[in-house]
Structure 1
Amino acid sequence: MTAAPTSPRGPGGRPDPLKVAALGGGHGLAASLRALRHVTSDVTAVVTVADDGGSSGRLRQELGVLPPGDLRMALSALCDESDWGHTWSDVLQHRFTSSGPLDGHALGNLLIVSLWELLGDEVSGLDWVAKLLGAEGRVLPMAAVPLEIEADVKLPNGQEALVRGQSRVAVTSGVVQRVRLIPVDPPACPDAVQAIRQADVVVLGPGSWFTSVMPHLMVPEIAEALHEARLTLTLNLSAQQGETTGYTAVDHLHSLQSYAPGLKLDTVIADPASIEDLDELQSHARTHGARLLLRQVGQGDGGPYHDPLRLAAAYRDAFDRFLGDVGEKSG
């Protein structure tokens, strides 16, 4: 196996693991985390906190807490590769089935919220769950307050509608025109901002484009840190039914530019099978200052899911491009 990339910044010339911050939410972020753990042991997940459905939505409404579901999934993706880690990961992901109020709740959500109440601090609570899992890396919320997502949507009949709530935006039958966060310009989690600023590279995506990926660009302190970061964008393998129906890979870059003018990318990772117009995509990647890295990163069965090992190999290729630059700056 190829040696993991390192950042030559340790004391006495000893190379440290490459520092990576991965941004997103839900299944997309979990996919990038499972890949990144094959690349480095120093990964920090920065997770969206706008979920308002299911177990997370119920806890958020009843207790006024950050929605824990996407945070739980990220923690589970970073669990230790041992019987201990996998067992506790399964416990975290376990959902109750009953005819009572526990029905549908994930045990991990209840555990996370319990620690938040006991410790009075979200970051400390997540760190304790990470210790329980033997996780390699940290999981942090993107913002310090729960968020709502509001979208302008063009319906199939041509009319426009206002859709509010992440769970509703994600399954809308219309075309999302624009999304906003409520509250506007929310405060960022300070640890998340620090993790992005200290990272050698930041990974954005894959994931639900408007409800998991784009929200990071609407938190001012996060967006400011991203404008100074070495960014690798991981494109989705297909459009998401509802949220990005009909979107091409180029459309995703168009929307990124509209939400974050001037944002520079180091690398755009795309699976050749998901590209409609290669020349146009290469041109748009260059407008962001990025190279387009074409790699087969989907699962072998052709489903719209990233394969952890294939995606890990793509990340290695993406990160190798600037490792020399990191060493020169450190020296």
Structure 2
Amino acid sequence: MSSRPIKHVLRKLNMERRKLTLISPKTPKQVNRWFKWLSPGLFIKRWLLISLTGASLLLLGLAIWVKLTPINRLIGFVSQLLELITRLIPSYVSGPLAIIIGLFLLLWGQSRTVNSITEALQPDSDQELVDVLLTHRRLNRGPKIVAIGGGTGLSTLLRGLKQYSANITAIVTVADDGGSSGRLRREIGVLPPGDIRNCLAALADEEKLLTELFQYRFKAGDGLSGHSFGNLFLTVMTEVTGDLERAIAASSKVLAVRGKVLPATLSDVRLWAQLTDGRLIKGESKITEANGKISLIGCDPPDPPALPAAIRAIEDADCIIIGPGSLYTSVIPNLLVPGIREALAKVNVPRIYICNIMTEVGETDNYTVSDHLRAIDRVCEKRVFDAVLAQKLPPSPFALKRYAAENCHPVYLDREEISRLGCLLVLANVMDENEETGYVRHDPQRLARVFLRWYSDN
């Protein structure tokens, strides 16, 4: 197989990295940068003061130990020195001069110290260290958010949330059996890495570069054609570390991921669906292809054990989100894990479901918002989510026509039924529409802002 495509991608990624480095925000003035170091919460001032106090006590202790009676000697020496200086140079000249020299030496020394630390920690970045520390501190103080789902919907949500908190845990379905993930699952026996790959890329610091690299698909090569680089990367990491959980943790460190990504279970889960016409469809990728109406959904094995780390994340969460994503093949598969749905039912924190904007053929044909909620309730056997976020305005006529050709329509907002279910309705414009293709997606930034505004009100 030729290595030219890979070299081309790596060259492109390197160029993008340099662009990102060049546009890194710089503090406009040197004075502002120094004032930032006095910002509360950095834990810098106290340690500098403690260091100076320690140095002073060290010198004082050494002087006392050798019986120099330092206080009297110091006062006498300083008195004589000042008297000599004022005789040689007038006080109105020597005083300001000493102050200026002292300030210069102090600022120069501290500036060189900070620059040395910055060069060691960020050799390839022009971003000021104080800006990095302030951002790090702000993100670490963000709420503990658990996001549950799969597919492209979950990764879209994570792209927005990571700007507001570093305490994010994504719990991802492992029921995918199509495409590159399905091939790796059948041929090697690993859990499908596709959805996990998307979430890792979304939470990475240099998301654009990593997404391009992870989404790169080999177009030639015996056995490689059709596989994405990200899937192969996670597969190799799984082989090296021993299981998918360790592979994700190791990959997160290598890729500087902001938050955690966890599979809902480590069991080899396979979806099945009972259709209203009596057919039993097995396999996640075949459910939507069956083009029928789903009456019941389950998985084999029927009660897969939840990943303990996923349960702990739910129990420690400040808020929980499920969706957006395909209802039966991305969202509900996580709830088929008994430990996950039981943990969701027990916690007393704000929980919200983000409803899809459009219906999906073979999965949610003619579904309303309340139909989505009822499907989740049937699996959980009780009301789990307190609120539902739905798109306020419909797509453009161009987008509606484009989707109608595929027999897809906006999910109908039935307010009365939602209220009857005892669920709070959150309406907002969180849609991003491609003007050229008419393709509709959730906007990551709008979605995150609306969610955090709702969370702060609860």
Shorter-chain TM band:
0.7 to 0.9
Which residue of structure 1 aligns with residue 361 of structure 2?
A: 241
Which residue of structure 1 aligns with residue 374 of structure 2?
A: 254
Q: Is the aligned partner of 1:26 residue 2:151?
A: yes
The residue type equivalent to 1:34 in the other structure is R
Determine the C-alpha separation between the residues in 1 that align with 2:420 and 2:188: 44
Q: Name the structure where helix makes up a greater proportion of residues.
A: 2
Determine the C-alpha separation between the residues in 2 that align with 1:87 and 1:254: 39
Q: Is the aligned partner of 1:228 residue 2:228?
A: no
Which residue of structure 1 aligns with residue 444 of structure 2?
A: 308
CA deviation after TM superposition for structure 1 residue 285, in Å:
4.8
TM-score (norm 1): 0.85
Q: Which deviations, in whole Å up to 9, do the C-alpha atoms of 1:196-240 show, x marking residues without a partner? A: 111111110110101111112211111111102331110000111
Q: Is the aligned partner of 1:203 residue 2:321?
A: yes
Q: Is the aligned partner of 1:116 residue 2:238?
A: yes
- The 5 Å alignment of 1:245-324 reads 245-272=365-392, 273=394, 274=410, 276-286=412-422, 290-301=423-434, 303-322=439-458
The residue type equivalent to 1:49 in the other structure is V
Q: Is the aligned partner of 1:102 residue 2:224?
A: yes
Q: Which deviations, in whole Å up to 9, do the C-alpha atoms of 1:85-120 show, x marking residues without a partner? A: 532332222111126311110111111111111111
Determine the C-alpha separation between the residues in 2 that align with 1:177 and 1:234: 22
SS in 2 for 1:160: coil
The residue type equivalent to 2:257 in the other structure is A
Is residue 366–residue 411 contact of structure 2 (8 Å, CA) maintained in 1? no
Determine the C-alpha separation between the residues in 2 that align with 1:275 and 1:46: 25
Which residue, 42, 65, 70 being the options, matches 2:190?
65
Q: Which deviations, in whole Å up to 9, do the C-alpha atoms of 1:174-197 show, x marking residues without a partner? A: 111111011000011111111111
Is residue 267–residue 293 contact of structure 1 (8 Å, CA) maintained in 2? yes
Q: CA RMSD of the aligned region, Å?
A: 1.8
Distance 1:27 1:277, change over 3 A: closer
- The 5 Å alignment of 1:140-155 reads 140-154=262-276
Which residue of structure 1 aligns with residue 260 of structure 2?
A: 138
Which residue of structure 1 aligns with residue 300 of structure 2?
A: 182
Q: Is the aligned partner of 1:192 residue 2:192?
A: no
- The 5 Å alignment of 1:206-217 reads 206-217=324-335
SS in 1 for 2:289: coil
Q: Is the aligned partner of 1:166 residue 2:257?
A: no
SS in 2 for 1:263: coil
Determine the C-alpha separation between the residues in 1 that align with 2:184 and 2:357: 32
CA deviation after TM superposition for structure 1 residue 135, in Å:
1.3
Is residue 370–residue 414 contact of structure 2 (8 Å, CA) maintained in 1? no
Which residue of structure 1 aligns with residue 110 of structure 2?
A: none
Q: Which deviations, in whole Å up to 9, do the C-alpha atoms of 1:238-264 show, x marking residues without a partner? A: 111221112111211121221123233
SS in 2 for 1:305: strand
The residue type equivalent to 1:276 in the other structure is Y
The residue type equivalent to 1:292 in the other structure is L
Q: Which deviations, in whole Å up to 9, do the C-alpha atoms of 1:270-305 show, x marking residues without a partner? A: 11234534432431452xxx3211001111446431
Determine the C-alpha separation between the residues in 2 that align with 1:284 and 1:175: 24
Is residue 369–residue 418 contact of structure 2 (8 Å, CA) maintained in 1? no
After superposing the two structures, state which structure 1 stretch, 15-24 or 233-242, moved more.
15-24
The residue type equivalent to 1:214 in the other structure is I
Distance 1:140 1:128, change over 3 A: same
Is residue 358–residue 411 contact of structure 2 (8 Å, CA) maintained in 1? no
Which residue of structure 1 aligns with residue 125 of structure 2?
A: none
Look at both structures and tell me which one has the larger radius of gyration over its CA atoms.
2
After superposing the two structures, state which structure 1 stretch, 66-75 or 275-284, moved more.
275-284
TM-score (norm 2): 0.62
Determine the C-alpha separation between the residues in 2 that align with 1:92 and 1:207: 20
The residue type equivalent to 1:63 in the other structure is I
Which residue of structure 2 aligns with residue 77 of structure 1?
A: 202
Is residue 170–residue 208 contact of structure 1 (8 Å, CA) maintained in 2? no
The residue type equivalent to 1:206 in the other structure is P
Determine the C-alpha separation between the residues in 1 that align with 2:344 and 2:290: 29
SS in 2 for 1:46: strand
Determine the C-alpha separation between the residues in 2 that align with 1:55 and 1:112: 12
Determine the C-alpha separation between the residues in 2 that align with 1:232 and 1:223: 14
CA deviation after TM superposition for structure 1 residue 171, in Å:
2.9
Which residue of structure 1 aligns with residue 64 of structure 2?
A: none
- The 5 Å alignment of 1:82-93 reads 82=206, 85-93=207-215
Q: Which deviations, in whole Å up to 9, do the C-alpha atoms of 1:35-86 show, x marking residues without a partner? A: 2113312111100001111111111112211111111011111111x4xx53
The residue type equivalent to 1:307 in the other structure is D
The residue type equivalent to 1:257 in the other structure is D
SS in 2 for 1:269: strand
The residue type equivalent to 2:425 in the other structure is L
CA deviation after TM superposition for structure 1 residue 160, in Å:
2.1
Is residue 88–residue 132 contact of structure 1 (8 Å, CA) maintained in 2? no
State the number of aligned residues: 299
